[in-house]
Chain A
Amino acid sequence: MISMAIPLYERRLKRFFYLLILFIILVFIVSISSLSIGPAMLDPIKVLQALAFKLLGRDVGGLIDVVAKLRLARTLASIFCGASLALAGLLMQTITRNPLADPYIFGLSSTALTALALGIILAPDLMIQRVYVVTISFIGAMIGFTLTLLLSKLGGGSDIAMVLAGIAVASLFGGVSHILLYIVQSMTKVPYMYLLMGTVSTTLWGDVQLLIPLIIVPITLSLALFKPLNAYLYGDEFAKQLGFNPASIRIFTASISAFLTATTIAFIGVVGFIGLVAPHIARFFVGIDHKFSIPTTIFIGALLTLIADIIVKAISIFIGGLGELPLGVVTAVIGAPFLSYLVIKRMRR
């Protein structure tokens, strides 16, 4: 008897591990390039050396220490925020069973930012602590998600209705957050406008130390949920028949997704489309099973964000304008055509 399932399974498993190793190497290489690129170009080999020395606890000294330390925070922020946004997108796509879902397109990012800005205006003393910033933007993200889903339900609940509802919520709260941030800026004399389109250039070392655990915990939680998430994909009834409660999966996963979105917004602002694009690339390579697609999505998200940030740096070096472009501008330029492609593919069917 020739078996079909066993070799098929082994092939998939192998493919996943090879790809995972490939993506880890790619993230590493791109991170080193990201550390080297900047107004002062560094030798990538020297950067690597300095990193190794640092890990061994030896003193590196000189310019490279200072520059790399500043840049390391930025690079790590790109990696972790990218991973976080990508996973948030994947989880949203699964629980809405909608391949067009993304925290930015569905309006969560804008409501989170609105909540954050309101928080700064109403309780500026509290907002000095990141924990409160993350909490308030999490509440904002949850409200945004609920609003979009309610609005799309009124519109028939189709995939495209969800996207349109999201765009309505995103546009409204994008505008509101813009106005609120303008007020915040006049109050605090600190430039907050960068939050509108996101940037990792202002991330400090202390931020990164808080950011990493805040993102690693939800990543671990969602990995542990891979079976309920897989069962959920085929419909509520299937999830139920396999012993999982679909309503609980929905609420829990939506919260994780909103938390990931909120955390990135609290640290780097609104960066769109990573959550849309990364899961599609991951599923193309490893299929729909979340035990494969979650890790792959995370690495692809990190990679895309790193590359987008390198583009930001490269543009500012070549053009030499005042300051840098926001990160969200670059991801939008890459991501929006991809959304158009998905919409066309979907509507043709």
Chain B
Amino acid sequence: MKIVIKGLEVWYDSIQALRDASLEINEGELTFIIGPNGAGKSTLLKTIALIIKPKVGVIYIDGKALSKFSLKELSKILAYVDYQISKSLPSTVFEFLLTARYPHQNMLTFSMSQEDLEIVDKISKQLNISHLLDRKLDQLSSGELQRVLIARAFIQGSKVLLLDEPSAFLDLKYKLEILDLVKKFTKINRSICIIAIHDLYLASLYADKVVIMSNGEIVAVGRPREIFREDLLEKVYGVKTHILDINGRIAVIPLEPLNKMEL
């Protein structure tokens, strides 16, 4: 499986959010999108998820334009995770997770198959949310909810996983555990995973490929070592940084902004 993005342009009214974005992503690859606020990370992710319609440009999955797929076909291919979920009518975690199997079922099948339940079971265990199944969504902490939402994407079993800030709200342990799991999931299923993230250290730890964006443009694409360079980060973020190499892991230490805010 392969995703090819060609010349995407997205406009929010008169503001251009994506400029001529082109990108290629291969299966089994964990791709991280980084960049400052308003760089277009989420917009790129949402455009791939078909939530936003691009004004110009095409996204191909295995050579077929995304817009040519039906909603039903897409539901088996794409899963997009962000943290906006309606909780106004009280649903339990279990009820929520069961809906993620719908793409694999007939619309009128009344009962859940043993196989579907086993998948829910296995993934709830992996993400350590088994004990939350009977809880209401609005009774979860933000970290718990985040795990539930990621579990939902896994349960849906899509080949393309799009995660918007999956590590926000998670504590140190879960940040690492969940990204570990996402990486394993991507490798084992030969799937594609694109993650928009602010945490540069996590990106350097797990990324196979890093896409750095600024002002709606893709500035550079490459391996973590090619992207986490003091000059590039300074240009994109406007911050002086120092790159540390700890046992082969790259850590970006922010030093000071180029322009200080005046009181």
Contacts and interface: CB of A to CB of B under 8 A. Distances in A.
Q: Do A and B bind each other?
A: yes
Interface of A: 1, 3-6, 8-9, 13, 93-94, 97-99, 159, 224, 227-228, 230-231, 233-235, 237-238, 240-245, 283, 287-289, 291
Contacts of B131: 4
Interface stretch (B22-30, B86-94, B182-190): B86-94
Contacts of B82: 237
Given A9-B117, A233-B89, 17 more contacts: A3-B118, A4-B130, A8-B134, A9-B94, A13-B111, A94-B89, A227-B102, A230-B99, A231-B99, A233-B86, A237-B80, A237-B82, A241-B78, A241-B79, A242-B75, A243-B70, A243-B74
Given A5-B121, A288-B95, A99 B103 contact: no
Given A3-B121, A4-B124, A4-B130, A287 B88 contact: no
Given A5-B124, A237-B51, A99 B95 contact: no
A288 B89 contact: yes
B114 A6 contact: yes
B173 interface: no
Nearest to B70: A243
Nearest to B110: A291
A4 B97 CA distance: 13
Nearest to B129: A4
B5 interface: no
A287 B137 CA distance: 12
Contact residues of A: prevailing secondary structure: helix
Contacts of B94: 5, 8-9
Contacts of A241: 49, 74-75, 78-80, 156
Contacts of A99: 88-89
A283 B121 contact: no
Interface string B100-129: 101101011011101001101100110000
A8 to B, nearest CB: 6
Given A6-B117, A9-B117, A241-B79, A235 B84 contact: yes
26 contacts: A1-B125, A4-B124, A6-B117, A9-B117, A94-B89, A97-B86, A97-B89, A159-B88, A227-B105, A228-B107, A233-B91, A234-B85, A234-B86, A235-B84, A237-B84, A238-B85, A238-B99, A240-B50, A242-B75, A243-B71, A243-B73, A243-B76, A283-B89, A287-B91, A288-B89, A288-B90
A9 B84 contact: no
B121 A242 contact: no
A289 B111 CA distance: 12
Interface of B: 49-51, 70-76, 78-80, 82, 84-86, 88-92, 94-96, 98-100, 102-103, 105, 107-108, 110-112, 114, 117-118, 120-121, 124-125, 130-131, 133-134, 156
A313 to B, nearest CB: 35
Contacts of A234: 85-86, 91, 96, 99
Contacts of A230: 95, 99, 102
Nearest to A94: B89
Contact of B71 (A224, A227, A245): A245
B92 A288 contact: yes
Given A4-B121, A8-B133, A237-B84, A289 B89 contact: no
Contacts of B71: 240, 243-245
Contact of B90 (A3, A4, A237, A283): A283
Contacts of A235: 84-86
Given A233-B91, A287-B92, A242 B86 contact: no
Indicate the member of A97, A227, A244 with the most B CB atoms within 10 Å: A227
A152 B108 CA distance: 34
A97 B92 CA distance: 15
A237 B102 CA distance: 15
A42 B107 CA distance: 47
Given A5-B124, A237-B84, A242 B117 contact: no
Per CB-CB distance, the 7 closest pairs between chain A and chain B, nearest first, are A243-B75, A5-B121, A243-B72, A288-B91, A235-B86, A4-B130, A5-B120
Nearest to A10: B117
Nearest to B86: A235
Nearest to A349: B138
A241 B84 CA distance: 14
A68 to B, nearest CB: 37
Contacts of B114: 6
A261 to B, nearest CB: 20
Contacts of B50: 240
B173 to A, nearest CB: 22
A9 B112 contact: yes
Contacts of B90: 283, 288
A242 B118 contact: no
A233 B87 CA distance: 8
A242 B90 CA distance: 20
A242 B153 CA distance: 11
A93 B117 contact: no
A93 B102 contact: no
Nearest to A93: B89
A98 B88 contact: yes
Contact of A243 (B89, B91, B102, B121): B102
Contacts of B88: 97-99, 159
Contacts of B124: 4-5
Contacts of B84: 235, 237
A330 B253 CA distance: 69
A291 B99 CA distance: 12
Contacts of A240: 50-51, 71
